[in-house]
Amino acid sequence: HRRFDYRPKTDPYCQARYTFCPTGSAIPVMKEEDVIEVYRLQAPVWEFKYGDLLGHLKIMHDAVGFKSSLTGKNYTMEWYELFQLGNCTFPHLRPGMDAPFWCNQGAACFYEGIDDAHWKANGTLVLVTTISGTMFNEMAQWVKYDNETGIYYETWTVQASPDKKSTLWFDSYECSKFILRTYQKLADLGAVFKKIQTNYTSIILFSGEPIYLGNETSIFGPQGNKTLAAAIRDFYSPFKPHQSVREFFVDLFKIIDRVFLNHQFYLFYNLEYWFLPMKSPYLKIIYEEVPLPVGSKASFGV
């Protein structure tokens, strides 16, 4: 996943139904001698609207919690879409604009408190490691860098087949990937993780070798490819600027139908368009183990 030099300003056209990070705060500087517990947090996506419905599909959202021994304060850190999932997954077709218009950014959110009931009810709240205040402060610097340079949300993982060793064409970039990067950073700083099973959700498309199509200018610009531009617009046409999660799923199934019937998918990744020659089983939601990381430095605590 490509890193960018800065985060672009958001266009006023992009409106979020739910405010991004409403109670967010700056990451505090911890005292070096503090001992901080680190918690793995996981619960079904959109649980606040649908209860455990998506838990049964194993479509989960991941976060990380911290508890300071010196102050007793708890904190939650997560990474998610600025304008909700539908906008990150599909573009808007705006009148008078040839190119599909993307409202797609993801970012980290940090706030005081851990909503124990939310994470425990249908999910997970478990201690995974203990770190020093120094390590926490170094992690905070890394989060700032990660947040400023890894700006686009990517829903899909794309690989050649369901086989574990199959070629990975494109990797997703979403909430769980941020948590895995955070754990890895802590491990590299010396954190030693407990030996517990940790599973994550992936939404995988299966495709033959992707074909590079170009960027917005080369396809939709004055010298662009009119036929290809029309095909991409047509592919995305079932999608409306989403208001409800239900509408998002209705549209999602419309596009899945096209994928199954026509074996094709147009992917927008790192500001470039690709054609995916889709193949069976086309799409899978998997919930599989990704082990906690092993660090590269001497350990601190357990």
Residue 242: per-residue pLDDT: 62
Residue 98's alpha-carbon distances to 14, 25, 94, 173, 221, in angstroms, are: 17, 39, 8, 27, 8
Residue 57: per-residue pLDDT: 57
Separation of alpha carbons 51 and 48, rounded Å: 6
Residue 46: per-residue pLDDT: 56
Q: What is the CA radius of gyration of the chain?
A: 20
Q: Please tell me which residue in 61, 92, 103, 242 is annotated as part of the active site.
A: 61
DSSP state of 292: P
Residue 259: per-residue pLDDT: 80
Strands (E) across 184-263 are located at: 199-207, 211-215
Instruction: Give the predicted TM-score (pTM) of the model.
Output: 0.88
Residue 50: per-residue pLDDT: 47
Residue 301: per-residue pLDDT: 43
Residue 287: per-residue pLDDT: 86
Residue 297: per-residue pLDDT: 53
Domain residue ranges in the chain: 35-159+170-201, 211-280
The yes-or-no answer on residue 175 being catalytic is yes
The yes-or-no answer on residue 1 being catalytic is no
Q: 251: which residues sit within 8 A by CB, 6+ positions away? A: 86, 90, 238, 239, 240, 242
Please name which of 106, 110, 117 lies closest in space to residue 78, comparing C-alpha atoms. 110
Q: Please tell me which residue in 109, 175, 242, 263 is annotated as part of the active site.
A: 175
Q: Are 147 and 191 in contact (CB under 8 A)?
A: no
Question: From the first residue on, what is the mean pLDDT of each consecutive set of 10 residues in the chain (302 residues)?
Answer: 84 85 93 97 67 56 96 96 82 90 93 90 90 97 94 93 93 94 96 93 93 96 94 86 69 78 90 94 88 69 40
Question: How far does Cα 237 stand from its chain's mean position?
Answer: 24
DSSP 95-151: TT-SS-B----EEEEEEE---HHHHHHHSEEEEEEEEEHHHHHHHHHHHHHHHHH--
